[in-house]
Structure 1
Amino acid sequence: MTAVIDDVRTEALFVSDLQRSQQPTAEVIREAVTAMVARLGEARCAELVAQEFGEHPDCAPDRMRWARSAIRLAFA
């Protein structure tokens, strides 16, 4: 179950406006995830991730790696 929750959180962070270059704190990451899930819902976050991978396959994997890493740290 934890893996599923982490996936939802990762997708929400991925589609958020936060950028790695902002060096967001764990608190900012948690707030962004909560806001995105509340605003878009889990399914829409997943749809937007898929769309981004289709439209920007060169950039999306790096952002996904960052999002996964940031989620692990923010929700440790």
Structure 2
Amino acid sequence: MSDGHRILCRLDSLLAARGMTLTELADRAGVSVVNLSVLKNDRARAVRFSTLTAVCDALGCRPGDVLDLAPPG
């Protein structure tokens, strides 16, 4: 990745599996659609624990379900 990190976001697959839109997640999590879009498109440089907690609560998942580590290279 160009930012020197290899963290990937799995929101697309989590939302699809639940039949949920990004707007619905934003409403349930109390996080703006813009912030979730940045996260979903792997453009986030940092994620607040409070945001990650709210997303996990809204999706009924754990942080490791939302974020992944890409292989080096």
Q: Same fold (TM over 0.5)?
A: no
TM-score (norm 2): 0.30
TM-score (norm 1): 0.29
When you count strand as a share of all residues, which structure comes out higher? 2
